[in-house]
Amino acid sequence: MDKLNHIFQELINQGKYPGIQWKIIHKKRNYEGKVGYKKLDTKENIQDDTLYRIWSMTKPIVAIAAMQLVEKDLVQLDDPINSYLPEFTDLKVLKNEKEIITNTIHLEKQPTIKDLLLHTAGFSYNFLADPVGKEYDQIKLFNSSNSSLEEEIKLLAKLPLLYEPSRKWRYSVSMDVLGRILEVIMKAPLQDILKNQIFLPLEMHDTDFYISEKNTSRLMQSYEYNHLENKLTEHILDAQKIGSYGYPLNNKNFARGGHGLFSSIKDYMLFAKMLHSGKSESGKEIISKNTINHMTTNLLNPNFFPIEILSVGTVKDQNYVNDLEPYGWGLGFRTLIDPLKNNNLGSKGEFGWAGAAATYFLIDSKKEISAVLMTQALNGDPSLKNNFYKFIYTNF
């Protein structure tokens, strides 16, 4: 614990992170630590129950909820999305990926539920360097803290896809579309679906899209790392920045499929541990082990590789590293397919995901490892995740 805390304290001393909390479980033995501050201006220390915006670590939870419905035959992976969301029936696609947003043609086929989980549906993201991502940003898609998921998805449905579904991998807002489909199928808000199907059975009492006024003081302050000035700042609200997304504290009606959840390290570890067996600590089945195995197997076509996320402003200089190069993608998770490309670290089949504010988790069933990392720094320095990963695979 002291060794890893020292590594992380160095990053905090360099001004790259406000504070860092971590937890590793290896063969049922727990290791955990926390260094730095919850708020830099008041020098409040991180507490065991500190809460975090987990951003895209919302996605794997939504993926599990969706696959629960697949197991119950309430939805099929090959179902086209307009079966549930008729607003997508007249969806168009750009003639090519560099066209202006109005130069479109008709789709050959609708995206499917499987495409949404795989990020092969043809959608983009507000911060990606393509015409569709730029248009999302122009119309302020998902920027509101008050709009419903239904309203945002209806706005999305008016815009074209970047490419024909199933033709390539593109990290995207597809999990938000999936979240809305869950609402339509279950006739309930997404926050209630996740609470009833996942959070209550796993006893994740601190995970929600909503934080009560009483618990607001437990939240770590959000920052953004400014690489040019080498310091943490308030959010940088330039065009096509993820920090523009709505992420309210106290709005009980807010829910998204791709971001928006708050959680603690204890809670997210309960979710992570479940992913080994499909069961809660008390033995309640959340999802079958066979389904988890399928979800965490690479299902992408070999010609989609290497997958990568190229945000606006990404510079491919000599220091650029594509962290996703060793990975494939399953139904909601990255999955390691080539440890040789990962500095010979990790086990084939190791899986997990991360969040925009440098939160991160991994599951390695072969080595019986669950690991969760929490902080709050958008545009964070990648050495945090890299040091965590290297520590795990050189010590366990």
Q: How far apart are CA 160 and CA 156, in angstroms?
A: 8
3-state helix, strand and coil shares in percent for the chain, rounded to the nearest 5:
35, 20, 50
> In this predicted structure, what is the pLDDT of residue 319?
81
pLDDT class of 225 with cuts at 50, 70, 90: very high
pLDDT tens, 138-159? 999 999 999 999 999 999 999 9
Residues 32-45, mean pLDDT to the nearest whole number? 97
> In this predicted structure, what is the pLDDT of residue 354?
98
Task: Tell me which of 267 and 321 has the higher pLDDT.
Answer: 267
Q: How far apart are CA 158 and CA 156, in angstroms?
A: 5
> In this predicted structure, what is the pLDDT of residue 191?
98
> In this predicted structure, what is the pLDDT of residue 312?
85
Looking at residue 161, the DSSP 8-state letter turns out to be: B
pLDDT tens, 357-391? 999 999 999 999 999 999 999 999 999 999 999 99
Residue 315 predicted with pLDDT over 80: no
Q: How far apart are CA 191 and CA 214, in angstroms?
A: 20
What does DSSP say about strands 377-378 and 223-226: parallel, antiparallel, or unpaired? Answer: parallel
339 phi and psi angles, rounded to 5 deg: -60, -25
Q: How many CB atoms lie within 10 A of CB 230?
A: 11
Q: How far apart are CA 199 and CA 206, in angstroms?
A: 9
Domains of the chain: 2-55+204-395 (3.40.710.10), 69-186 (1.20.58)
Residue 237 predicted with pLDDT over 80: no
Rg of the chain over all Cα atoms, to the nearest angstrom: 20
Closest CA to 188 of 69, 27, 76, 24: 69
Residues 323-352, mean pLDDT to the nearest whole number? 97
Q: pTM above the 0.75 mark? A: yes
> In this predicted structure, what is the pLDDT of residue 352?
98
* 8, 36 Cβ separation under 8 angstroms: yes
pLDDT tens, 45-67? 999 999 999 999 999 999 999 99
| AA letter at 326 | P
pLDDT tens, 253-265? 999 999 999 999 9
Looking at residue 247, the DSSP 8-state letter turns out to be: -
* Three-state secondary structure call for residue 27: coil
Q: Which residues, in sequence order, are CB contacts of 61 under 8 Å at separation 6+?
A: 194, 198, 207, 261, 271
Percent of the chain past pLDDT 70, that is, above it, reads: 100
Q: How many CB atoms lie within 10 A of CB 89?
A: 13
Please, what is the average pLDDT of the chain? 96
